[in-house]
Structure 1
Amino acid sequence: MKQLPPYTNILDEHLPATIGYGYRDIKWFEDFRRQEYPQLANITYLDHAGTTLYPISLIHEYSAELCADLFGNPHSKSPASQLTCRRIDDIRLKVLQLFNADPECFDLVFVANATAAIKLVGEAFRELENWEYCYSEDSHTSMIGLREWSSSSKCLSKFAMISHMNTPQRENATTLFAWPGQSNFTGERFPANWTKHLIGRETSYSLFDAAALVSTCSLNLSDPVNSPDFTAISFNKIFGFPDLGSLIVKRSAAHVFERRKYFGGGTVAALIASSQWSVPKNEIHSRLEDGTIPFHSVLALDHAINIQKRFYGSMENISAHTAALAKYLYLQLRELKHGNGRKVCSIYTGGNFEDSETQGPIICFNVSGKDGIWVGYTEFEKLAALKGIHIRSGGLCNPGGVEKWIDLKPWEIQRNYQAGHVCGDDHDIVEGKPMGALRVSLGAMSTTEDALSLIAFIREFYLDEKVLNEHDFLHTKKSAVINRISIYPIKSCHCFDIPRGTYWPIEPYGLRYDRQWFVIHKGTGRALNQKQYPRMTLIRPTITTDHLQIQWHETSEIIRVPINPAGQGLAITTRSTVCGETIEALLYTQPEIEQFFTKFLQVPSTLALYPPDSDMRQAKSHLRQLNRDYSIKQPISLSNESPFLLISQASVDALNAQIAETNGKKVLADVFRGNFVISGPDLHAYEEDFWTSVTISNHSFTVAGSCRRCHMVCLDQSTGEKDVDPFVTLSKHRKKNGRILFGQHLTLRTPPRDVMVTVGDKIYIDE
């Protein structure tokens, strides 16, 4: 068990309510978790709403059964197949009993996951010409998707949902009402028995998404009259394994599936291939489980149910445990304040943490600085990951939650999409407003230490940030010297340092050959990067007169690649994705190039060239917003944001001094992958934050803004080894407006005509 963080506060009187973990005693639980969840060593896992974790006993016992018995395809008649059929029948009944569902009133259909269960219901209703779909604003994306098959749809609040249920049914109309048992955004819970409002509406049906709810709460379907017609389940949310779902169908509503046209293998009693005639099987599950179900996963489900009961006793115990932990963590987060009294966390909840009937163990929030400016949730998640804390961030597959709690208007969402923001990207703050949130969710094996680890992390990195003041620096004309010029011919690979005494040309997109090539994944077509493939740091490119020479680390393994492959017929045009943008590039066709990269990066890959005359990529818009004179679009090669990046050695030295205070390992300037590294006796650390323009070799450059940093700065550029000290230290001292910043982006103010730079050039800082 991890050592408790050295932190207590005024809310520690709530700690005794959670320290017993809702089970037996703390000593038992510590030993149990250490033995059954060894994967949690040095990890704070707070994404149980995504999937909870499986105990190793589940894997061992499941594996033992597979090794001891022979299981065949359940559609066959062999002894092995009949054994499978008997086991499936027993487990189907066992799952119904788990939810107190009488098999006389309900049937259970095994599917891939809750989304597949929801889609299965939609396939039945889509055949109707006139049906209305009413879904909760708290619905998961998968539930919202059914509206595309409906004649009309409505997105309703919980109060509007109940009101609509109580209105008289329209004549000749069929309505499907859908809502979640628990919002996967805020954790607010909604009762399954809203169906009582539908009594008397003969052509109204109910779809209940129980996936998030049943992970930490029991589901009771013992009253079939007031239970939903269709209930969707994902078992990995409850047990961690297997990856399997189910649809629980109330038999009185099963007739809707008679409209479903598709049938798969094993679902028909009789069939003629040459004419439109078929007869479905009688049992609900028999005619809806298309093809061979994942029967090995069904077998695992039996062990999962047994082991959870053996370890935790009941779902009521898990519910009590997670509710107590959630309340404790909520109270802690709620009371975190900056020195000026401003709250650190804005928490989004419609439930009550005093009442587990209305609130599940989910806390959804965003973090802001003492100036009220939001911290980007992507940056928060990246830093948390470096500290071993696993959380979820973004829109959380709950667009209604984002609209309601973040207060994003439909027109804003459309505007942001047109500007390039899509689900899952890193654009977490747009026009000063978050695009999503951070979500912490607790599970059966969560501990108080997990909660305290998160609190300690937020206190360490997000309270009372210090921001440099422009007036700290003298506004006098200064000069410095460029002591290093680097280009990165292959994006995300090692640099090529321009030799001293060599004059290097500047092109419209930046330094010649900088980020001109990239390594492309042969399967996905995406550009590889160091964050995913740290071995890329060991690829050493060198520019010669007409070739790019590529060496693997310090070996004799070298290939030579023509700089202009198109002119020699050695490349074909392809499309690729770089930094989330789709581009056209030239793919090298020589087998030896593919063999080189595939061998050393250990992933199927090869080399591609981004044509130097292309204007498909432009400097990022957020940089243009920082400086009025940076309003003209600036072409870039494959650099992330701008044509040039400047690093001050004084700032690197200051960072190393801060790293040394924690006995960390000092870094070299090359971890920041800048083009110009400058130094000078009069330079102060970080004063470049306030520069507006500089002059190099009699040419004026605009300082376009600070470089946003990710955990790629943790990679040693000579060895590929990871060291979290640089990013962690920057996170403490170099955050502004929720971003971690280091280095300055530059752009040339005038079109480059015969502009050359060399190591030793003076750089003048304009007033």
Structure 2
Amino acid sequence: MELEHMFTLQSYQDIWGSYGYDIDLPEMIEKEFSRMKGITYLDHAGTTLFSESQIKAFYQDLTGNVYGNPHSHNLSSRLTHDTVEHVRYRILEHFNASPEEYTVIFTSGSTAALKLVADCFPWRSACGGEPASHFCYLTDNHTSVVGIRGVSSQLGVTSLPVSPHEVEGRARQPPQATNVNESLTPHLFCYPAQSNFSGRKYPLSYAKGMQTGRLYPACDWPGRWLVLLDAAGLVGCSGLDLRECPADFIPISFYKMFGFPTGLGALLVRNEAAPLLRKGYFGGGTAAAYLAGEDYFVPKSSVSSRFEDGTISFLDIISVHHGFEALQRLTGGMVEIQQHTFGLARYTYVMLSSLLHSNGRPVAHIYCANEFQDPASQGAILNFNVLDCHGRVVGYSQVDKLASLFNIHVRTGCFCNTGACQSFLGISDQEVKENLEAGHICGDNIDLVDGRPTGSVRVSFGYMSTFEDCQKFLSFIVNCFTDKPLRVDKERLARLKLAVPVENTVGHFNSSPSNGQLGHKADQGETAPSLISSTNGGEIMIPTPKRREEKNSFQTLTNIFIYPIKSCAAFEVKEWGVGPVGLLYDRTWMVVNEHGVCLSQKREPTLCQVQPQVSLASNALHIKAPGMSSITVPLGDLKERKHSQKACQSKVCGDRVQTVDCGDEAASWFSEFLGKPCRLIKQNSEFIRKMKTSSENVGDGPAALSLVNEAQYLLINRDSVAMLQEQISGRLDHPSTPQAISMQQLIARFRANLVVSATNPFEEDNWSSLMIGNTTFQVAGRCGRCQMIGIDQETSARSQEPLKSLSDFRQGKVTFGIYLLHQSRASANAITTLSVGSPITSTNETIMELLKS
């Protein structure tokens, strides 16, 4: 098969037979999810997206009715109570259960539902001759399930982790109970309906198997085995029939199903198991009667009333009704959603697993327990790591950064599932501990330790996902990570196409464009990268930096840039003052949204077109942008304005900063330019923000910072930029094409304060300190780079360069430039001056170590 013909309707039909619903899918996407324009959203296992009609219906409901506190008895309160009870019934109906079989207990999410079970389960410790309870959990469980161990272990309960293959592999006939007490010992077995790591679906028959003592570990320890089925990861794209799977406790989260509301979940409790739950704390609404002066309390008879402390989130609960309505109206139900989403996942799996580098090595290592043959055993999740042409893992952080340049949203890391992560990636318990000692914690960006991955990349599909999402994702992988010319494992491709259940080989193909390609229309003004790239790729071999004989052997400061407004354009100067927090007025202002959250080029790339200029003569900041009239903001806190300035707080890199608002004129200007409500704020001149890294001690204490991310100054070396430019040009067919990046454009992308001309490329990596003119600086570390360097600072267009070439050079650790701190020997208020052309004297780190020894 020619690569040009891989992504056709026929190729999809060969791999899976269902796509879309009994509606026009592109029209539905345009109507219900217009905000997704230009975005390839592939993190539905994290949260799916809500439809516009769902929110509009909820809004009309709220504005057309008065909902009172359900604990009162007036008319508005009764309306709330009755509506909430209807939602409970609707939830049970969705899972094919009745109020006679199950009770819905509303919680703040599935984690809160799990904690409720942990706190209320009748754990029995080994005392008085009675056997202890067992808390047993599948190792492929979410952190929030394993976390039950934190409660049970304190009570003397035996924790028993079980690997997936042990459940059925060690099953046998259960022993006979020896006495009544032993048979009543309560045990809890927890397993996921669908792994949030690999998407593997575990048999729903495990519930009955454990309850009847036929499966391991229930067959080895007599007693009453209750089953907790973690369904949060399943119910977004698959149905769940509680008649076939009568688990005792089922936690769910509604944002996984509808995208809204967040902060609302439920615990479905089988009524036969409900009397076993024991609750200590009682809140408002849970008491039938109690005495304030005596230890006397009688709970309400209703199971839900006993466990829902305080006033429930009744408006959010009412919105769940509109979520179910939208889901049914747009898709037809969970059977259709499962067929559609699994088809997209299967197609992506088949294609990705068949892609090869030019030398025949695979492009990706996929972590799964099957080959995506059947939606009954596999969900709409694909977990993998990218491999280079030598078989080495490309760190997930690098993949994530490059994906952001193409507006592709994925999830990376271990996904709060350490057990599955260890199993699939081959990470031992000792290595987890060693990785922690090396600085890696769950959720950070340390993706490789000694060349071995600490996590992976996950893509997941939702009911509004399209074939075009698959195309864009696969094109991204091919263009950014494959050694050309790309090859395809045709034998594997042919074999996987045949591995399709007969009942799934015929499906409906609504919303197919006239050209026979699946998917909806491409967004105007945005072209998805083609799968077939004519770029001459291959591994970039950057030579070891060596002295260029034609260069002079001295170092100079060639450019000074300040960035008055964080993430806006640079203001270049020839001479500038150095203050206590860095260059004067550098990152003194920033733009925030209506919630006070800082806006950066990652979210708003057009900020680079805002051009601020500092005028010391007029004591003003002049701001201009294309198509906008210029405005002026005072540099300081003018006495006549000081009392009218609104104090506010925001955050920069996790640090809380105190700021003042710059007024309505600036807010209106930025809101008009960006097309959304936002404001301009300025760091409070009386607020001191301290640097918090290990290199912070300069002089008498931690260095003070402006609104910068990490350190006072960022320095880059022109020679390093030149070498990187050569590598980028070497990747292109024609370096003179618009894809090529000029030296000045490349310097602009790195957004440094100080640009120097050194003796060798990348020699700055080994500097420990330096002197520019008469001003001394300490090196605080290397600058880790993100996807912002892929933004053209003139046009705001995104590209994969220079991040791709830089990542290849650093072997996944994307650093460029160094952070500096100013070592001032004068008073804190003294201002020195830096000038272009000043000589530079650097101290090498290696030399310093030798001197110390």
TM-score (norm 2): 0.70
1:268 aligned onto 2:287: yes
Counterpart-to-counterpart distance in 1, 2:392 and 2:364: 12
Q: Kindly tell me: are residues 140 and 608 of structure 1, through their superposed partners in 2, closer, same or farther at Cα, counting changes over 3 Å?
A: farther
Check conservation: 1:492, 1:537, Cα contact below 8 A: no
List aligned pairs for 1:280-299, cutoff 5 A: 280-299=299-318
What is the CA distance between 1:208 and its match in structure 2?
Answer: 0.7
Question: What is the identity, as a one-letter code, of the residue corresponding to 2:272?
Answer: S
1:478 aligned onto 2:551: yes
Query: Which residue is 2:481 aligned to?
Result: 462
Determine helix, strand or coil for the equivalent of 1:444: coil
1:307-335 CA-to-partner distances (Å, cap 9, x unmatched) read: 32333223122212222221111011112
What is the CA distance between 1:433 and its match in structure 2?
Answer: 2.5
1:352-381 CA-to-partner distances (Å, cap 9, x unmatched) read: 410222211100111132233432322322
Check conservation: 2:593, 2:679, Cα contact below 8 A: no
1:194-245 CA-to-partner distances (Å, cap 9, x unmatched) read: 122332544321111011111121111114xx62111111222223333332
What is the CA distance between 1:348 and its match in structure 2?
Answer: 0.8
1:198 aligned onto 2:273: no
Residue 716 (structure 2) aligned to one of 625, 640, 645: 645
1:37-86 CA-to-partner distances (Å, cap 9, x unmatched) read: 32332322211111222332322333333343333322222223223333
Determine helix, strand or coil for the equivalent of 1:150: helix
Q: Kindly tell me: are residues 314 and 132 of structure 1, through their superposed partners in 2, closer, same or farther at Cα, counting changes over 3 Å?
A: same
Query: Which residue is 1:354 aligned to?
Result: 373
Residue 759 (structure 1) aligned to one of 836, 839, 847: 836
Q: Kindly tell me: are residues 608 and 163 of structure 1, through their superposed partners in 2, closer, same or farther at Cα, counting changes over 3 Å?
A: farther
List aligned pairs for 1:377-456, cutoff 5 A: 377-456=396-475
Check conservation: 2:139, 2:161, Cα contact below 8 A: yes
Question: What is the identity, as a one-letter code, of the residue corresponding to 2:785?
Answer: R
Query: Which residue is 1:624 aligned to?
Result: none
1:188 aligned onto 2:200: yes
Determine helix, strand or coil for the equivalent of 1:49: coil
Determine helix, strand or coil for the equivalent of 2:268: strand
Query: Which residue is 2:752 aligned to?
Result: 674
Larger deviation, residues 390-399 vs 301-310: 301-310
Counterpart-to-counterpart distance in 2, 1:549 and 1:557: 6
1:16 aligned onto 2:2: no
Check conservation: 1:232, 1:247, Cα contact below 8 A: yes
1:570-603 CA-to-partner distances (Å, cap 9, x unmatched) read: xxxxx998756x89x9x79xx7999999998737
Determine helix, strand or coil for the equivalent of 2:802: helix
What is the CA distance between 1:440 and its match in structure 2?
Answer: 0.6
Check conservation: 2:109, 2:253, Cα contact below 8 A: yes
Determine helix, strand or coil for the equivalent of 1:109: strand
Q: Kindly tell me: are residues 611 and 597 of structure 1, through their superposed partners in 2, closer, same or farther at Cα, counting changes over 3 Å?
A: farther
Determine helix, strand or coil for the equivalent of 2:24: helix
1:61 aligned onto 2:57: yes
Query: Which residue is 2:574 aligned to?
Result: 499
Q: Kindly tell me: are residues 456 and 273 of structure 1, through their superposed partners in 2, closer, same or farther at Cα, counting changes over 3 Å?
A: same
What is the CA distance between 1:182 and its match in structure 2?
Answer: 0.5
Query: Which residue is 2:276 aligned to?
Result: 256
List aligned pairs for 1:141-160, cutoff 5 A: 141-151=143-153, 152=157, 153-160=159-166
Q: Kindly tell me: are residues 536 and 663 of structure 1, through their superposed partners in 2, closer, same or farther at Cα, counting changes over 3 Å?
A: closer
List aligned pairs for 1:76-91, cutoff 5 A: 76-91=72-87
1:112 aligned onto 2:190: no
Q: Kindly tell me: are residues 310 and 550 of structure 1, through their superposed partners in 2, closer, same or farther at Cα, counting changes over 3 Å?
A: closer
Q: Kindly tell me: are residues 126 and 462 of structure 1, through their superposed partners in 2, closer, same or farther at Cα, counting changes over 3 Å?
A: farther
Residue 723 (structure 1) aligned to one of 782, 794, 797: 797
Check conservation: 2:192, 2:202, Cα contact below 8 A: yes
Question: What is the identity, as a one-letter code, of the residue corresponding to 2:836?
Answer: V
1:413-439 CA-to-partner distances (Å, cap 9, x unmatched) read: 333334443333332233322232111
1:210 aligned onto 2:235: no
Residue 735 (structure 1) aligned to one of 804, 807, 823: 807
Q: Kindly tell me: are residues 24 and 452 of structure 1, through their superposed partners in 2, closer, same or farther at Cα, counting changes over 3 Å?
A: same
Counterpart-to-counterpart distance in 1, 2:482 and 2:149: 44
Check conservation: 2:564, 2:612, Cα contact below 8 A: no
Counterpart-to-counterpart distance in 1, 2:441 and 2:784: 19
Question: What is the identity, as a one-letter code, of the residue corresponding to 2:296?
Answer: W
Counterpart-to-counterpart distance in 2, 1:378 and 1:425: 9
What is the CA distance between 1:31 and its match in structure 2?
Answer: 2.6
Query: Which residue is 2:242 aligned to?
Result: 221
Question: What is the identity, as a one-letter code, of the residue corresponding to 2:228?
Answer: L
Determine helix, strand or coil for the equivalent of 1:120: helix
Check conservation: 1:647, 1:677, Cα contact below 8 A: yes
Counterpart-to-counterpart distance in 2, 1:293 and 1:697: 63
Counterpart-to-counterpart distance in 1, 2:615 and 2:367: 54
1:147-197 CA-to-partner distances (Å, cap 9, x unmatched) read: 110034232212334578866689474321111100111101112321223
Larger deviation, residues 442-451 vs 662-671: 662-671
Counterpart-to-counterpart distance in 1, 2:45 and 2:608: 34
Query: Which residue is 1:558 aligned to?
Result: 634
Matched pairs, number: 714
Counterpart-to-counterpart distance in 1, 2:597 and 2:585: 19
Q: Kindly tell me: are residues 128 and 92 of structure 1, through their superposed partners in 2, closer, same or farther at Cα, counting changes over 3 Å?
A: same
Q: Kindly tell me: are residues 607 and 412 of structure 1, through their superposed partners in 2, closer, same or farther at Cα, counting changes over 3 Å?
A: farther
Counterpart-to-counterpart distance in 2, 1:576 and 1:78: 42
Larger deviation, residues 690-699 vs 448-457: 690-699
Check conservation: 1:617, 1:635, Cα contact below 8 A: no
Check conservation: 1:522, 1:606, Cα contact below 8 A: no
Counterpart-to-counterpart distance in 2, 1:66 and 1:635: 51
Unaligned runs of 5+ in 1: 1-5, 563-574, 621-633
1:711 aligned onto 2:801: no
Question: What is the identity, as a one-letter code, of the residue corresponding to 1:469?
Answer: I
Q: Kindly tell me: are residues 210 and 269 of structure 1, through their superposed partners in 2, closer, same or farther at Cα, counting changes over 3 Å?
A: same
Larger deviation, residues 246-255 vs 6-15: 6-15
Determine helix, strand or coil for the equivalent of 1:449: helix
CA RMSD of aligned residues (A): 5.0
1:223-273 CA-to-partner distances (Å, cap 9, x unmatched) read: 4xx62111111222223333332211111111122x211222222222222
Q: Kindly tell me: are residues 58 and 527 of structure 1, through their superposed partners in 2, closer, same or farther at Cα, counting changes over 3 Å?
A: closer
What is the CA distance between 1:32 and its match in structure 2?
Answer: 2.9
What is the CA distance between 1:461 and its match in structure 2?
Answer: 1.1
Counterpart-to-counterpart distance in 1, 2:399 and 2:136: 36
Question: What is the identity, as a one-letter code, of the residue corresponding to 2:210?
Answer: H
What is the CA distance between 1:454 and its match in structure 2?
Answer: 0.3
Check conservation: 2:16, 2:347, Cα contact below 8 A: no
Question: What is the identity, as a one-letter code, of the residue corresponding to 1:709?
Answer: R
Counterpart-to-counterpart distance in 2, 1:95 and 1:406: 37
Check conservation: 2:562, 2:570, Cα contact below 8 A: yes
What is the CA distance between 1:23 and its match in structure 2?
Answer: 4.7
Determine helix, strand or coil for the equivalent of 1:478: coil
Check conservation: 2:194, 2:379, Cα contact below 8 A: yes
Unaligned runs of 5+ in 2: 126-131, 214-221, 484-537, 625-629, 639-648, 671-677, 697-701, 827-831, 845-853
1:371 aligned onto 2:393: no
Q: Percent same amino acid at aligned positions? A: 31
1:176 aligned onto 2:188: yes
Check conservation: 2:570, 2:611, Cα contact below 8 A: no
What is the CA distance between 1:351 and its match in structure 2?
Answer: 3.4
Counterpart-to-counterpart distance in 2, 1:97 and 1:616: 53
